[in-house]
Amino acid sequence: MLNLKEFESLKTECLSCTSCSLSETRQNVVFGRGNPFAKILIIGEGPGQIEDDKGLAFVGRSGKLLDELFLSVGINVEKDCYISNIVKCRPPSNRKPRISEVENCSNWLQNQVSLINPKIIILAGSTAVNSYLNISKPITEIRGKWINKSNIKIMPIFHPAYLLRNPSNEINKPKWTTIQDLKKVKKELNLFV
């Protein structure tokens, strides 16, 4: 069971982090959003402009789509999930985080995972997959397949930003396959509730 005092202490510490150069250009540290007691932890790449402005994870266009996709399979993100990122500060111009930035931020995420102790982790996009699992397979090869690590079931999915660029709902298109992946997540979640 999550120790909320430890979780809030970690968040407070993280909000003042200056471990890498991303701290020089950020507006806000984006620790996460959602229910820290949830069984699902969603991990994305890093905050975008809107997330940096508001200090919350996945609240821009990608976040709205993420919420809609999860809701379409019966998962309420605010209630059933906690959302965070590989890096907690926005990379300039929304560029991909550098390896050194990922390494400097990895302790925050490791502590989040340890404290939340999720049953399921969703890795949204290839940067999250590559950084968290340390594998470089293309997301198209591993999305929708369960990976077990430390007694946690991990599901890689397409990043919602990719789905915004590929919005078709046609069968076998990225958005449709993501919904199929999330149906697997919902089925797994049902085992824990």
Task: Calculate the CA 146 to chain-centre distance.
Answer: 16
pLDDT of residue 101: 96
* Alpha carbon distance 74, 66 (integer Å): 13
Structure tokens at 139: 């997301």
Q: Are 68 and 113 in contact (CB under 8 A)?
A: no
State whether residue 30 is helix, strand or coil.
Answer: coil
Angle (deg, nearest 10), helices 99-116 and 4-14 = 160
The per-residue pLDDT for 193 is 72
The residue to which tokens 């929304």 are assigned:
94
Instruction: Show pLDDT as tens, one digit a residue, over the chain (193 residues).
Output: 899 999 999 999 999 999 999 999 999 999 999 999 999 999 999 999 999 999 999 999 999 999 999 999 999 999 999 999 999 999 999 899 999 999 999 999 999 999 999 999 999 999 999 999 998 899 999 999 999 999 999 999 999 999 999 999 999 999 999 999 999 999 999 998 7
Q: What is the model's pLDDT at position 53? A: 97
Angle between helices 99-116 and 126-133 (to 10 degrees): 80
- Structure confidence by residue, pLDDT tens digits, 19-45: 999 999 999 999 999 999 999 999 999
pTM, entire model? 0.97
Residue 45, both tokens: 């790449």
